[in-house]
């Protein structure tokens, strides 16, 4: 890996189907990852259980996007084991400043209690990490994010790896070859994280209906 990773090189890596990870929060440098099997969400088949639907409808929370990107990444790294080191944090801050990295945040009053962040390129969203400080907060964040991505014309939601948590929400695992084909298709699409007139409500998110103002 080169000594200096630039934001443009990082975007080129995503377009080639690879992403960076660090060994730990205190480690120096990063390594590229291109898994043999890739986790993705089929945006039309995100699973909203009855309990999650109730949480979306009745919990007193506010959804914000890009309100505090840095705090979202910091919260995602606040765990015993993390692949987010200082260099990765700085790179994604740079991507955010350039409009290529976004956060969707769940706020309870003045406290951010959940969220997810990732990188956008064409019609692909590369999910990087998420966190939760309230029951189901990360699931709520993902439900609103999937709704937004569908409204914005995205066709690929890359989760990198698959976990039982993601699988319970409908994530699936596909081969590297299948992923690269989907990626090539998605990169040719002109999607947007902030679609014009997009005006979601808890009801529309629960029902997976896209509505605009």
Confidence of residue 117 (pLDDT cuts 50, 70, 90): very high
Q: Does residue 196 lie within any of the structural domains? A: yes
Q: Does residue 90 lie within any of the structural domains? A: no
The mean pLDDT of the chain is 91
% the chain with pLDDT above 90:
78
Q: Does residue 212 lie within any of the structural domains? A: no
Rounded Cα gap, residues 176 and 36, in angstroms: 5
Q: Does residue 165 lie within any of the structural domains? A: yes
Helix/strand/coil (H/E/C) assignment for every residue in the chain:
CCCCCCHHHHHHHHHCCCEEECCCCCCCCCEEECCCEEEEECCCCCCCCHHHHHHHHHCCCEEEECCCHHHHHHHHHCCCCCCCCHHHHHHHHHHHHCCCEEEEEEEECCEEEEEEEEEEECCEEEEEEEEECCCCHHHHHHHHHHHHHHHHCCCEEEEECCCHHHHCCCCEEEEHHHHHHHHHHHHCCCCCCCCCCECCCHHHHHHCCCCEC
Q: How many domains, in total, are found in the chain?
A: 1
Q: What is the pLDDT of residues 122-133, one digit of tens each?
A: 999 999 999 999
Q: Does residue 149 lie within any of the structural domains? A: yes
Is pLDDT at 1 greater than 70 in this prediction? no
Is pLDDT at 19 greater than 80 in this prediction? yes
Higher pLDDT, 49 or 83: 49
Domain range enclosing 118: 37-79+100-207
Q: What is the pLDDT of residues 64-105, one digit of tens each?
A: 999 999 999 999 988 777 767 888 888 999 999 999 999 999
The count of C-alpha atoms lying within 13 angstroms of the C-alpha of 66, restricted to the half-sphere facing its C-beta, is 14
pLDDT at 55: 96
Q: Does residue 3 lie within any of the structural domains? A: no
Span 18-42, mean pLDDT?
A: 82
pLDDT at 78: 84
Range name among 88-92, 114-118, 131-135, 192-196 with the lowest pLDDT average: 88-92
Q: Does residue 201 lie within any of the structural domains? A: yes
Rounded Cα gap, residues 62 and 107, in angstroms: 5
| CB atoms near residue 31 (< 10 Å) | 12
Domain with residue 56: its CATH number is 3.40.630.70
């Amino acid at each position: 890996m080169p000594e200096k990773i630039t934001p443009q090189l990082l975007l080129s890596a995503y377009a080639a189907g690879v992403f960076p990870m660090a060994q730990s929060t205190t480690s120096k440098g990063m390594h590229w990852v291109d898994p043999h099997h890739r986790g993705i969400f089929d945006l039309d088949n995100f699973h909203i259980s009855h309990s999650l639907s109730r949480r979306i409808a009745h919990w007193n929370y506010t959804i914000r996007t890009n309100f505090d990107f840095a705090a979202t990444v910091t919260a995602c790294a606040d765990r015993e084991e993390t692949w987010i080191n200082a260099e990765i944090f700085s790179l994604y801050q740079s991507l955010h400043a350039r409009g290529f990295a976004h956060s969707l945040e769940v706020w309870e009053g003045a406290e951010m209690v959940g969220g997810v962040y990732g990188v956008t390129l064409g019609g692909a969203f590369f999910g990087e990490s998420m966190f939760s400080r309230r029951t189901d907060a990360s699931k709520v964040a993902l439900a609103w994010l999937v709704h937004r991505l569908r409204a914005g014309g995205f066709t690929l939601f890359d989760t990198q790896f698959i976990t039982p948590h993601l699988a319970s929400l409908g994530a699936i695992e596909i081969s590297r070859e299948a992923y690269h084909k989907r990626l090539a298709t998605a990169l040719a699409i002109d999607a947007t994280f902030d679609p014009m007139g997009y005006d979601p409500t808890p009801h529309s998110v629960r029902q997976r209906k896209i509505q605009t103002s």
